Structure 1
Amino acid sequence: MSDKPMRKGITTGTCAAAAAKAAVMAWQGQHVAAVEVISPQGITLVAPVAESQAIAGGGVASVIKDAGDDPDITHGAQIVAEVIVTDDPEIVIKAGEGVGTVTKPGLAVPVGQPAVNPGPRTMITKAVFDCLPPGKGAVVTVSVPGGEKLAARTLNPILGIVGGLSIIGTTGIVEPMSEEAFKNSLVPQISVVKALGYQDIVFAPGKIGQDIAVNRYGLPAAAVVQTSNFIGHMLENAAKYGMHRVLLFGHLGKIVKVSAGIFHTHNRMADARLETIAAYLAASGAPQAAIEEVLASTTTEAVMPIIARYNMTGVYNLLAERASMRATRYVFGDLTVGTVIVTLQGEILGLDRTAREIGGHLGWNVNIK
């Protein structure tokens, strides 16, 4: 394994600010290979300029996004800024091709505005003002060719950002290996659900669970969010945002980890799925042969026919109850939690009483005695 430090990159916000500055400089007759922009924290960042040219009343320039060693979906994307200089001394930022527009409340940007976050707005405004003559302002249109296609592979559609990507970045710098950044990118889903008036929220670890919750059981799509492996992180933020109840809705393989008090569910972080199922089967009176078969299995899918063969399917409800109890304890009782366990095909294996209450309140179409 190499000890070479991983290379940092620049955010889409830095790229947009740099492109906007280069566009103003092109309007002034200066075509530069790189520009300096100032991050919201006052740090000077340098961005190479791919191209720039003067146009009628202003300029246009582009910067190629370099995410460093971070696996960023926008790495290599072209960030373009068109700047039209005005006599009104303010900076107006607009969304061009491939930049989204906010359609749901609860985000850092108001509904109807371009999805350009506060940090990048600050950087763009300062970069442009620093180059303009006194008393002048500008209309800055940021675009990302191909951005709408890229956005389909992000959380933007869930967050209600339509038409393209968000221009983001709080520091202007992309830190490599940014698990923390990915975790934090999930959190705005909660604020959107809250802003839409829901006090109950549904957490699905993945897309399959989310689709089953909405398409098969009629849970409101606006209240169902993905947690990825970061169930504990999302529970903490649900409590922080003042949500009242959480319905955990997912596959046995993920939920059983929560039953064991594991709240980062990536298999390399912790994996006691079979041991947990075996323990609860034993506590429920399963014969030793059943326990041995479960422990000899390789997946939770393979365990299901064993449990059925020994008539021990009641263990799923017990696991659901346990997951809810551990999740409630995890946030020190700041949330009420219910749990539903499903198969990959969408069949409900088990659930607890609180899940019935939350699901019923959200209008699901589950009919289980």
Structure 2
Amino acid sequence: MSDVFIEKGGKKLRCGFTTGSCATAASKAALLMLLTGENMHHVSIMTPKGIPYNAEIVDIHRNDALEYVSCAVIKDGGDDPDVTSGAKIFASVCLTEEEGIEIEGGEGVGRVTKPGLDQPIGEAAINSVPRKMIRENLEEVLSLRGITGKGVRTIISVPDGEYIARKTFNPKLGIVGGISILGTTGIVEPMSDAALVETIKTEINVRKAEGREILLASPGNYGLTFLHEVYGIDENIAVMSSNFIGDTVENAADSGFSKLLFVGHIGKLVKVAGGIKNTHSMYGDHRMEILSDIVIDVAGYGLEKKILSCVMTDEAVRIINEEGIGDLVFEEMVSRIKKNMEEWTDGRVQVEVIVFSNENTELVATKNAHEWLSKI
């Protein structure tokens, strides 16, 4: 297999292949071995991205009557910190008397238990694109071999899938018993922003399908802990946006939410007050500059040097409060956060915001934030 690389952050990173590509390659190889009676140790498929995948085939098994063949492909996530890397993705294939391709989930492949996901409740968590990839590759093999009047059943399994899934979002999304077979391009791009945003979008869709009227979101574990320890909110209810605050707000609107309650630490959310959609430092920090500008706008205080010299926002909060202007400054800050978030959706979503600082101390909240929190 020739490696595929991308440039990111000035570094050359090796791409991997999705669980969907692995399941497709294993299914194709198993069917070819079933039809030919011969072992094969590599098989090629074309990913939706248009990049070929020449997969190594391992753990070949068949019964004496040649009723089925099973084999595996070892998942390689490239340079992405992917918890499924190294897992064996198995396919067990047999012919059926009815035409068509049946795709089922076996050991270690999760089952869908909540609405709003790619597959209906009760189905194996094998997403639409991998199902399409598997179906098309198996149909092609049957056609090229001149097989008519027969169908194929393939069962995808991941022996370590149930353990691996504990390290993923699956339990929170309502996928139980294993991992998901995923991938829209067939390729894993290292540290892919698109993959993270897609996960956030999926979780938002699940919350909408649960019938929730208000979407609760927070940038990370710090915010989830605050919600749980201060307000007793179940952490699993909140969508974790990471740095993708703009994408989260826009996806909330696209999923049909008209109300969004966003809870986060000032270190993240002050950036939103300055109109920053992605709060990762690589896209620009400007926390102290934004906070300093707000202080000047609302209080006219000359605290620029003190605030700009702060390393952490909690230190800046202390300085502002000691000057006795905390109420003015933080009310203006949270107002700007709310205004920017609502403008990102062209007014489709009403946003309320709670901002906290160090040691789980609520700093400021918009007018209806606590009322909404009581309804979640």
Q: Which residue is equivalent to 2:169?
A: 155
User: Partners of 1:88 and 1:215 in 2: how far apart?
Assistant: 56
Letter paired with 2:216: V
Partner deviation per Cα, 1:316-355 (whole Å, 9 max, x = no partner): 2331121001111222212111110013532211101132
Counterpart position of 2:214:
200
Aligned mate of 1:209, from 205, 223, 236? 223
Quick one: distance in 1 between partners of 2:185 and 2:293? 47
Q: Decide whether aligned partners of structure 1 residues 276 and 85 sit closer, same or farther in structure 2, where only a CA change above 3 A counts.
A: same
Specify the alignment match of 2:92 in structure 1. Answer: 82
User: How far apart are the structure 1 equivalents of 2:317 and 2:166?
Assistant: 34
- Tell me what 2:4 maps to: none
Give 2:26's aligned residue: 19
Q: Could you tell me which amino acid in structure 2 is paired with residue 49 of structure 1?
A: I
Quick one: distance in 2 between partners of 1:165 and 1:186? 17
User: Unpaired runs of 5+ in structure 2?
Assistant: 1-6
What is the aligned counterpart of 2:366 among 346, 352, 368?
352
Gaps in structure 1 of 5+ consecutive residues? 363-369
Alpha-carbon distance in structure 2 between the residues aligned to 1:265 and 1:218: 27
Q: 1:23 to 1:154 in 2, by over 3 A?
A: same
CA–CA separation in structure 2 for the residues paired with 1:298 and 1:39:
46
The residue type paired with residue 224 of structure 2 is: Q
Aligned twin of 2:326:
313
What residue is the counterpart of 2:3 in the other structure?
none
- After superposition, residues 1-369 of structure 1 pair within 5 angstroms as 6-28=13-35, 29-39=37-47, 45-55=53-63, 57-131=67-141, 133-214=147-228, 216-219=230-233, 221=235, 223-285=237-299, 287-288=301-302, 290-314=303-327, 315-362=329-376
TM-score by length of 1: 0.88
Q: Which secondary structure state, in structure 2, belongs to the residue aligned with residue 345 of structure 1?
A: helix
Please say if residues 49 and 187 of structure 2, whose CA atoms lie closer than 8 Å, have aligned partners that are also in contact: no
1:266 deviates by 0.3
10-19 vs 90-99, greater mean Cα deviation: 90-99
Q: Which moved more, 1:225-234 or 1:49-58?
A: 49-58
Q: Percent same amino acid at aligned positions?
A: 38
Worse overlay, 328-337 or 69-78 = 69-78
Is the 1:26–1:52 Cα contact (8 Å) retained in structure 2? no
Structure 1 position 219, deviation (Å)? 4.0
**CA–CA separation in structure 2 for the residues paired with 1:145 and 1:308:** 56
Give 1:189 deviation, angstroms: 0.9
Q: Helix, strand or coil: the match of 1:124?
A: helix
Does the CA-based 8 Å contact 1:23-1:53 persist in structure 2? no
Deviations 1:44-75 (A, max 9, x none): 54322123221363011000122334343322
Q: Which residue of 2 aligns with 1:366?
A: none
Letter in 2 for 1:306: I
Q: Across the two proteins, how many residue pairs are aligned to each other?
A: 361
Q: Tell me if the contact between 1:208 and 1:344 (Cα under 8 Å) persists in the aligned partners.
A: no
Is the contact made by 1:15 and 1:65 (CA closer than 8 Å) also made in structure 2? yes
Query: Are the structure 2 counterparts of residues 280 and 71 from structure 1 closer, same or farther at C-alpha, using a change threshold of 3 Å?
Result: same
Q: Secondary structure at the match of 1:27?
A: helix
* Contact kept? 1:27, 1:53, Cα under 8 Å: no
Q: Which string of whole-angstrom CA distances, capped at 9 and with x for unpartnered residues, describes residues 275-321 of structure 1?
A: 22222233343753x54332221011222332333333313233112
Of stretches 51-60 and 249-258 in structure 1, the one that deviates more from structure 2 is 51-60
SS at match of 2:203: helix
- 1:7 Cα shift? 3.7
Give the structure-2-normalised TM-score. Answer: 0.87
